[in-house]
Chains A and B, each alone.
Chain A
Amino acid sequence: SSELTQDPAVSVALGQTVRITCQGDSLRSYYASWYQQKPGQAPVLVIYGKNNRPSGIPDRFSGSSSGNTASLTITGAQAEDEADYYCNSRDSSGNHPEVFGGGTKLTVL
């Protein structure tokens, strides 16, 4: 089982704001990174570190962290943002050096 917990599914109306969360004890000591994956495609990095976006990622994507929870926020969601989103972090439990959350399926209505 994953040491990072994500809601399995979230929906958002087109143009609205949505927050996808990731909970885990390791997030008190490590920042999460966030990946977007569309069907049949490889994951794409969208947020890393405190709140950094790789080149080419729209600025509607942002990240934050508080306590044991990391969040990915999409401000003004677009149809093309419909995808699975995964958080990832170092694991502090000692069971797995690195771990992914179970993923959140984002539906844009």
Chain B
Amino acid sequence: EVQLVESGGGLVQPGGSLRLSCAASGFTFSDHYMDWVRQAPGKGLEWVGRTRNKANSYTTEYAASVKGRFTISRDDSKNSLYLQMNSLKTEDTAVYYCARGMRGWSRYYYYYMDVWGKGTTVTVSS
């Protein structure tokens, strides 16, 4: 069964740090781009960032709201994705999802996230 399981969420004070993990199983993790998406309470989905696969040099991209504070990494030997979050702000409070990325081309490029974890909750509060 293809599965993603996030962990590492919790309560942290503003300015603090937290590291989220995402364990993948049931597919060849190393082949895939992987994304982090978050959802603040009562709000919509917000894309956080992405890591590409080894064939694409593990390059990363980030949303402007987290760039310079968050770092995405992966360990293909452990089928794991990570999100290091530093200098946390109250507005980072959200459920954080990891998702498997897929790409395609049909006149236009397209990217989609076809497998999602259940999410882990991060609360930034004093």
Contacts and interface: CB of A to CB of B under 8 A. Distances in A.
Contacts of B50: 97-98
Nearest to B119: A42
Interface residues of A, number: 29
Given A86-B45, A96-B64, A33 B113 contact: yes
Contacts, number: 82
Given A42-B117, A42-B118, A42-B119, A49 B47 contact: no
Given A44-B116, A54-B114, A30 B109 contact: yes
B47 A31 contact: no
Interface of A: 2, 29-33, 35, 37, 42-45, 48-50, 54, 84, 86, 88, 90, 95-103
20 contacts: A30-B108, A30-B110, A30-B111, A31-B110, A42-B116, A43-B37, A43-B45, A45-B114, A48-B112, A49-B110, A50-B110, A84-B44, A86-B44, A88-B45, A88-B112, A88-B113, A90-B109, A95-B64, A97-B61, A100-B46
